[in-house]
Structure 1
Amino acid sequence: MESPHRPGTDHSGPTRLGRWDVVAKIASGGMSSIYLGRQVEPGPDPHEPRMVALKVLRHEVRDDPRVIKMFLTEGQLLVRLVHPNIVRTLEVHVDDERGFIAMELLLGQSIAAIQDACVERGLRLNPEIAAFCVARVADALQYANEITDDDGRPLDIIHRDVTPQNVFVSYAGEVKLIDFGMAKIVDGSITGPNLLVGKLPYLAPEQIQQMPLDHRTDIFALGVTFWELLTAKRLFRRNTDEETIEAVRSGRIPDVREVAPEVPEEIARIVATALERDRDKRYWSTSELAYDLDAFLVPDVQAGMGERLSALVHTLYPDEYAEQQGWLVPPPGSSHSVSLPPAPPAPPSSRSGLPPMPPSSPSLSESVPVRRYTLPPMNPPPRFGAASSRPFLQPAAPNDDDT
């Protein structure tokens, strides 16, 4: 996952990229850095956002043709993907000096960071929240698999990097799949042969065996992600790469209820089906997976899920909310005003807060439609999925603000 930066002047980075002024670096990774960009020239779409995220190739990798190809592939794929659960790409540009992708600016946290913040407090995500997030990612993957090229032929896009780090939850309660940098079109016309790419603990067995891939590879990775969200444990990760690969190939896959007894039986069955090593026994499509999850999540639960997700992110990351709000302050003299959604208000007194959980089965659980939770204070709060050595904490009892 990309590491965070507090926005500020970055004298070593670009100051202008295409139609965008570069405001500050906000994250960095192995091959690219993420900058905050502000529109200075209008684009073809009058509804285009004024503030964007600019994914820029790092100087030290710009001479590597493999990196350039991956970057262009990501851009070529992303510009076609217009879906509410996929980060929106606005512009792709590569030349001899710079390569960048302008994307919608996502304000919130990855589900990996949310999970880490819960683990810090000895909690697990509510199974309904985990199921809803996984269902929306499944919708996004199905869309990517079905989208067509200019001649109307399905592209059969495989993401190949479905992990908790690449599932984002916004402060408005939206779920977005990000980072198609490892994506592959099934016939290989863009990305070539089946290379062992992606994060090892989320590879499917057929990737390790170098078999031809299809959309069921993403289903297995999504199954691993789902298992980990429900249990707050790592499924396949081991101390070495060799041990991790062997665990993916043949390690035991425990029923989620062995670790998290509060998970409903139907959810456990869905997870087990997604994690079948024999892909012919897996879900045939991500739409089938999403259908089963949505059938579990009755309409009333789905209708309030955006509000619950928003409350969850605001509760776990209030300081980051205030920091990201500052990203959007327009420069002096600007007539443009952009703002984050407001923090959820305190619920009416008839609503309950976060109840204490039994030590043997901690779970992040709340009454619907609670819009704010009481959690133990963290000093400082965990940032962007950072690891911590703090012991587990028990949830705080509800107070007057939560009742």
Structure 2
Amino acid sequence: MNAPEKLGKFVVAQELGRGSTGTVYLCHDSFLGKDVAIKVYSLDAGTDEKTVQTRRKLFFNEAYLAGKMNHPNILPIYDAGEDGGHCYVVMEYVRGAQPLTLFCRAGNLLPVRKIVEIIFKCAKALDYAHRKGLVHRDIKPGNIMMTADGDVRIVDFGVAHMAGNDGGQLKGLVGSPSYMAPEQMRQQPSTVQTDLYSLGVVMYELLTGKRPYYGNNLARLVHQIIYATAPPVHTLRADVPPVLEDIVDKSLDKDVTRRYQTGLEFATDLTRAVRTLDKLSEELAEQERFNILRRLAFFEDFSYPEVYEVLQASRWQSYGPGENVVTEGELDDCFLVMVLGSADVRRGGQVVGRLSEGDCYGEAPYLPERRAMAGIVAATPMSVLRVNATLIEQASTQCQLRFHKMFLRALIERLAHGRKGEAAAPKPQAVTQKH
């Protein structure tokens, strides 16, 4: 099909993509002064009559939805029309959008948290559509677009079933076989649960890079979908927590009554999963910080429980080069332990020392006025453990004794070497492993 110069009031700029049913063009609306995407259905004279009739139904189906769908995660259809033998629908143009199929391959999988966000938005969008009496019937990665800023849009409602629009409906087996639910394969009516099953397949594929069922022909695929059990998600991707695997399993249940009944129910479970993921993330972050502290010479003599006590009394802070960590003369009730990077010790604007990993700073809590006698400025990207003097006093006696022993040792070594100002204590050799 040759590209038309105009479609109604829209000026055709360029071709964006070509599919089995038609071509999508970037067009400009001169009246509103904005770009739109227009899908033109292929109804060429050389196409057989059955195919033409099918495509006309697809066109009328999408045209019926023009102006009826208003959800941030559903691509809106603005208008539809016929011009010079061309049937077309006018849609929002989303610059830089890509289909999720790009993120269903090993080596290009998205982070688990991002996948949960995508499926959550899709579940909410489907819930909106279902409440309007619409069943999409062709949910798959290729029909979900991710925008340049990471948002999503569900597209292509050509085979959708909508209450009150029976004249434009396609009958029989419609959709993409790999994403069809068992009841679709049996050519039973598509329902809300059919869409949610398909969304579960998309979630499975985004998480693992594989579809739950494969077949070298349609008959084999149908048998797999109806009777087989999909490989557990964790066997294909180890970092998927059980709470998400349970959600996938429920969405793929072959029994419709045990599947999610609404998109809202699906989204609610995903929300609960995010809370679990956040908790796991915090636990992993704390474990990683614990491991880093155990490698520092400052904590060489601390037991495992004592290191955790220090963490509970501390804040882990990061700074970029040139940022103030401590301001000279300010009230200070904290000890500092350098964790990563290095910092300059400054007094009166002059550099008087350098702090590196494992060094400590903070005599202020020992002084009556508790004011910092020098400033600390990050020399490189750095992280510091800021230990609250009041909170450390609530730690176990053994932890307090060990902590203050290390700081007093730093002071004594500084005096013994005749250092002036607030320069750091000599850095001991880092401990690489502690049993």
TM-score of the aligned structures, taking structure 2 as reference length: 0.60
CA contact (8 A) 2:185 2:222 kept: yes
For 2:40 and 2:249, the matched residues in 1 are separated by: 39
**Kindly tell me: are residues 78 and 139 of structure 1, through their superposed partners in 2, closer, same or farther at Cα, counting changes over 3 Å?**
farther
Residue 126 of structure 1: which of 108, 111, 128 is its match?
111
SS of residue paired to 1:68: helix
Q: How much has 1:168 moved relative to structure 2?
A: 0.8
**Kindly tell me: are residues 190 and 281 of structure 1, through their superposed partners in 2, closer, same or farther at Cα, counting changes over 3 Å?**
farther
- Counterpart of 2:12? 22
For 2:109 and 2:169, the matched residues in 1 are separated by: 40
Q: Bigger radius of gyration, 1 or 2?
A: 2
5+ residue gaps, structure 2, are 279-318, 322-379, 384-435
For 2:115 and 2:167, the matched residues in 1 are separated by: 33
**Kindly tell me: are residues 349 and 75 of structure 1, through their superposed partners in 2, closer, same or farther at Cα, counting changes over 3 Å?**
farther
For 1:181 and 1:242, the matched residues in 2 are separated by: 25
Matches within 5 A, 1:4-403: 12-42=2-32, 50-60=34-44, 61=47, 64-94=52-82, 97-107=85-95, 108-116=97-105, 119=106, 122-147=107-132, 156-185=133-162, 189-192=166-169, 194-298=171-275
5+ residue gaps, structure 1, are 1-10, 43-48, 148-155, 302-347, 351-399
**Kindly tell me: are residues 58 and 234 of structure 1, through their superposed partners in 2, closer, same or farther at Cα, counting changes over 3 Å?**
same
Q: How much has 1:177 moved relative to structure 2?
A: 0.5
For 1:103 and 1:296, the matched residues in 2 are separated by: 34
For 2:151 and 2:88, the matched residues in 1 are separated by: 25
Residue identity (%) = 28
For 1:162 and 1:237, the matched residues in 2 are separated by: 17
Q: Which protein has the bigger strand share?
A: 2
For 1:252 and 1:68, the matched residues in 2 are separated by: 38
Q: How many residues align?
A: 280
> RMSD of the TM alignment (CA)?
2.7
TM-score of the aligned structures, taking structure 1 as reference length: 0.64
For 2:28 and 2:56, the matched residues in 1 are separated by: 25
Q: How much has 1:77 moved relative to structure 2?
A: 2.1
Letter in 2 for 1:69: K
Work out which structure has the larger RCO, using CA pairs closer than 8 Å and 6 or more positions apart in sequence. Answer: 1
CA contact (8 A) 2:173 2:184 kept: yes
CA contact (8 A) 2:204 2:248 kept: yes
